[in-house]
Amino acid sequence: MTEKMIVNPYQVEGEVDYQRLVKEFGLQEITPEILEKIKQITKGLHPMLKRKIFFAHRDLNWVLDEYLKGNKFFLYTGCGPSGPIHLGHALVWYFTKYLQDTFDVELYFQFTDDEKFLYKDKPYEEIQKWVYENMLDVIAIGFDPKKTFFIVDTKHAGLLYPEAIKVAKKLTFSTVKSSFGFTDSNNVGSIFYTSMQAVPSFLPSVLKKKNIPCLIPHAIDQDNHFRITRDILPKLGFYKPASIQCSFLPPLTGAFGKMSSTGEAKGIFMTDSPKEIKDKINKYAFSGGQPTLEEHREKGGNTEIDIPFQYLKYLFEEDDEKLAEIEKDYSSGKMLTGEIKKYLIDKITAFLLAHQERRKDAHKKIDDFLLKV
């Protein structure tokens, strides 16, 4: 309990204890009752729900009840454009696409170029390049262009700013400071920024002139922003946004923490070639297998810490029976480290080749996706 753990939008450090975060952040766990309710509505359950990759929420029950009464919610998620998209980002968005498809709802997707400019040591022009590149990946996920609306903070500033100042007026520096761990030397833009991330959670209500429930799928590190948002929105006459949180796809080098686009063993990017995928996994993927063949056959591998197994569980083996078989064979020693790695490499390669195919003509669709009012 005393171990150092920091989880906020701008820093993730230490071994992430998700149960502890649920308590500290005041989240609700996703219970069997909620899963049952989702199952009734959608006639099935996404593997990321069954496997508790998405494991916590706020007000999900309420959003589902409203939905059952015929009052649809909209989805809101986003991307901080400062580098290439990796599998950890894509995980949330593929799940968001599932929500959009099964509930047949609108999605507001925010690109926070202001945020990345303010927080990263990168020029504005470079951030703009990433807005463009990242949009291609978001489009390649396969969202419905008729029901998906891209918001770019600096480009939609005229729409966002009047709403952001209403949030900002209710938010003190001391709240922001303690929530994000800021000091007096943070730049003033970063202090204001969370007001911008709050806006899409009520912008559709402003535009359509009626209160509409919002559901935000996001990785757990973004929760700070939305705790603040939830405190303020009722003061402005809007519903608190509901949310559903996932744990981080672990980095290649170990089962705890978060995949990132920097560091020695970089994440796996959406644009990686089959050779890069293979090399990264063979070189870096942390193995739960035993050091020698004899030992492995005798004791078996540890799936809890084995990165290839964890990746299959998170995203790449959707078939529950197949996953259970791999778990059994790998932990009994029947399946070898080289074999599970090879299996994962083939899965990721197929997944990314299909993504890259859709990405090719995505540039033609950007305009269809941009929010126009």
Residues in contact with ligand TRP by the rule CB under 6 A: 9, 76-80, 110, 112, 115, 197, 216, 218, 222
Whether the Cβ atoms of residue 203 and residue 159 lie closer than 8 Å to each other: yes
We find the least distance from the C-beta atom of residue 226 to ligand TRP, in angstroms, to be 8
Judged by beta carbon, residue 197 or residue 287, the one nearer ligand TRP is 197
Q: Positive or negative, the Cα torsion across 347, 351, 357, 360? A: negative
What values do phi and psi take at 135, rounded to 5?
-60, -40
Nearest to 348 by CA among 307, 288, 287: 307
We find the least distance from the C-beta atom of residue 58 to ligand TRP, in angstroms, to be 13
Residue written as token pair 């593997």 = 47
We find the least distance from the C-beta atom of residue 82 to ligand TRP, in angstroms, to be 8
Judged by beta carbon, residue 211 or residue 261, the one nearer ligand TRP is 261
Crossing angle of the two packed helices 188-198 and 157-169, in degrees rounded to 10: 100
Task: Please give the biggest Cα pair distance in the chain.
Answer: 68
We find the least distance from the C-beta atom of residue 115 to ligand TRP, in angstroms, to be 6
Judged by beta carbon, residue 87 or residue 323, the one nearer ligand TRP is 87
CA 268 to chain centre: 15
We find the least distance from the C-beta atom of residue 104 to ligand TRP, in angstroms, to be 20
Burial classification of residue 357, based on how many CB atoms lie within 10 Å of its CB (0-12 exposed, 13-18 middle, 19 or more buried): exposed
d(CA 111, CA 341): 34
**What DSSP string describes 109-176?**
EEE-HHHHHHHSS--HHHHHHHHHHHHHHHHHHT--TTTEEEEETTTTHHHHHHHHHHHHHT--HHHH
We find the least distance from the C-beta atom of residue 159 to ligand TRP, in angstroms, to be 15
Judged by beta carbon, residue 9 or residue 308, the one nearer ligand TRP is 9
We find the least distance from the C-beta atom of residue 93 to ligand TRP, in angstroms, to be 10
Q: Both tokens of residue 26?
A: 């005041």
Q: Taking the CA atoms of the chain, what radius of gyration do you get in angstroms?
A: 21
We find the least distance from the C-beta atom of residue 26 to ligand TRP, in angstroms, to be 18
Judged by beta carbon, residue 225 or residue 347, the one nearer ligand TRP is 225
Judged by beta carbon, residue 49 or residue 199, the one nearer ligand TRP is 199
Judged by beta carbon, residue 82 or residue 287, the one nearer ligand TRP is 82
Judged by beta carbon, residue 100 or residue 197, the one nearer ligand TRP is 197
